[in-house]
Amino acid sequence: MARIASLLIVVASCQAYSFHHWSPPGPGDLRAPCPMMNTLSNHGILPHNGRNIDLNTTLGGLGMLNLEPELAGYLFDFGVLTNPELNATTFTLQHLGNHNILEHDASFSRRDAYFGQDPSFFDAATFAETRSYWHSPIIDVNTMARARVERLKTSISGNPEYSMSKIGTRISLDGSVAILLMFGDGETLRAPKEFVTYFFGEWPASGMPTRSLVST
């Protein structure tokens, strides 16, 4: 918890960066269940092919979000666990989708592994459920927790192979924490819903089930 608390003082506003380099993943490019890692790759801030991500690459990429090297290194150490190779020093974005290492059921925008969909795919129906609990223009800890709990309930009732072990590890990488830390104001952890839904790849208000321009 001390570590999470110390993250609160990381003011993670994006550094000035020209967003002209965006392109979607092409054939052979790998993507993750993590919308942030994906968008960094789509922008070429991480390797566009989603491969061979080492510590230095991670520090550079997450540094663009003003993440402290200590935190970026901490996330890298988790990421590298998803590479099945012994003593790996790199991971690919696809590795991050290996089920039940970091990737888990009841995500905000991905279907549970049981249903067989590529975990790097944004799933509009899943995200629509999540978004329905963010019922005011500001997402706060209460509406975030509500979405988290309701997504868990949906998975528990609808997925016969639902699993959520090692909860501690997962909480530390959970999207709900990441969103409030990155998009919240840093003190009260209130994040504008429009910004967050845009990040996930939905245009505000319209509800169009579009693939993401940002995080694809």
Ligand X SMILES: *[C@@H]1O[C@H](CO)[C@@H](O)[C@H](O)[C@H]1NC(C)=O
CA-based end-to-end distance of the chain = 31
Radius of gyration of the chain (CA): 16
From the list 19-27, 33-41, 141-149, 202-210, the region that binds ligand HEM by CB under 6 A is: 33-41
In angstroms, give the least distance from the CB of 11 to ligand X: 21
Cα–Cα dist 199/60, whole Å: 21
The nearer residue to ligand X, 41 or 126, going by C-beta atoms, is 41
Cα–Cα dist 138/190, whole Å: 6
In angstroms, give the least distance from the CB of 86 to ligand X: 4
Residue 211: what are its φ and ψ, rounded to 5°? -65, 160
# residues near ligand X by CB under 6 A: 5
Token pair for 145:
């927790």
Cα–Cα dist 171/210, whole Å: 28
Q: Is 87 in the site for ligand X (CB under 6 A)?
A: yes
- The contact mask relative to ligand HEM for 39-78 (x = CB under 6 A, - = no) is -------------------x---x--x---------xx-x
127: left (phi over 0), alpha (psi -120 to 50) or beta: alpha
Q: Is 15 in the site for ligand X (CB under 6 A)?
A: no
- Residues interacting with ligand HEM, by CB under 6 A? 33-37, 58, 62, 65, 75-76, 78-79, 96, 102-104, 107-110, 173, 175, 178-179, 182
Binding residues (CB under 6 A) for ligand X: these are 56-57, 60, 86-87
